[in-house]
Amino acid sequence: MQIFGIAAIALITTFCVLVLREVKSELAAAVALAGGIIVVLSVIDVFTDIFSTIAAIAKRAGLAASVVTLLFKVIAVGYVTEFSASVMDDVGLSSLSDKVTLAGKLIIVGVSLPVVVKLFEFIAGMLS
Amino acid sequence: MDINIIFKIAAVGLITAIINQVLKKTDKDEIATLVTLAGLVIVLIMIINMISQLFDTLRSVFGMY
């Protein structure tokens, strides 16, 4: 099963980071980041299967394609923001990670504004 | 994507730290900082390649841009 490989990689990365912290090297954070990237990349093909099935289901349900692509874009932005914010939290730069999280939230709201506007128009149309 | 990248980066970190200690003991501190910078640059190049690969994969998975 995949999880054993991922757990092994994560544990090895943890010990490498501990050794590097012992020697007071700044590269401990780099090793942690590399380990995180490897774990994510080894799971990425499961992502692709999930998202293609979701897209197929959404298409069959008759959802507008733009809404589904918007959903994927929001998920992608959210994930990248969380990934980088957690790396900065690791190193202790909580101020920077808060700023990145704020930027991610603003981007998500900016991207999803058209749908919200469409929703309000739809409601207004129904009420009038 | 396998484990030897992590070992490579850890090895670079370890070697630069040890060389740092040696150079500091023979009070050549400026060379020590240069060694640290060199190690950092090498590792950063590796990390940037990995990050760009991750973001390209994410872009292809989510069909962005």
ipTM: 0.82
- Domains in chain B, number: 1
pLDDT of residue A117 exceeding 90, the answer is yes
Q: Do A26 and B12 touch (CB under 8 A)?
A: no
Residues 6+ apart with CB under 8 A from A75: B62
pLDDT tens sequence across A67-108: 888 888 899 899 999 999 999 998 899 999 999 999 999 999
| A·B CB contacts under 8 A | 94
Q: Check residue A45 and give its pLDDT.
A: 83
Token look-up 């733009």 returns: A66
One-letter identity of residue B56:
D
Q: Is B16 on the interface with A (CB under 8 A)?
A: yes
Searching chain B, which residue's CA lies closest to the CA of residue A23? B17
What pTM value is reported for the model? 0.82
Question: What is the Cβ-side half-sphere exposure of residue A49, based on CA atoms within 13 angstroms?
Answer: 3
One-letter identity of residue B58:
L
Q: How far is A75 from chain B (nearest CA, A)?
A: 8
The Cα–Cα gap between B58 and A69 comes to 14
Q: Check residue A128 and give its pLDDT.
A: 84
Range of the domain at B21: 4-62
The Cα–Cα gap between A31 and A65 comes to 40
Q: How far is A14 from chain B (nearest CA, A)?
A: 10
Q: Check residue B45 and give its pLDDT.
A: 94
pLDDT of residue A23 exceeding 90, the answer is no
pLDDT of residue A113 exceeding 90, the answer is yes
Residues 6+ apart with CB under 8 A from B39: A27, B12, B13, B15, B16
Q: Check residue B1 and give its pLDDT.
A: 64
Confidence of residue A46 (pLDDT cuts 50, 70, 90): confident
pLDDT tens sequence across B9-65: 999 999 999 999 999 999 988 999 999 999 999 999 999 999 999 889 888 888 776
Searching chain B, which residue's CA lies closest to the CA of residue A32? B6
pLDDT tens sequence across A51-69: 889 888 988 888 777 888 8
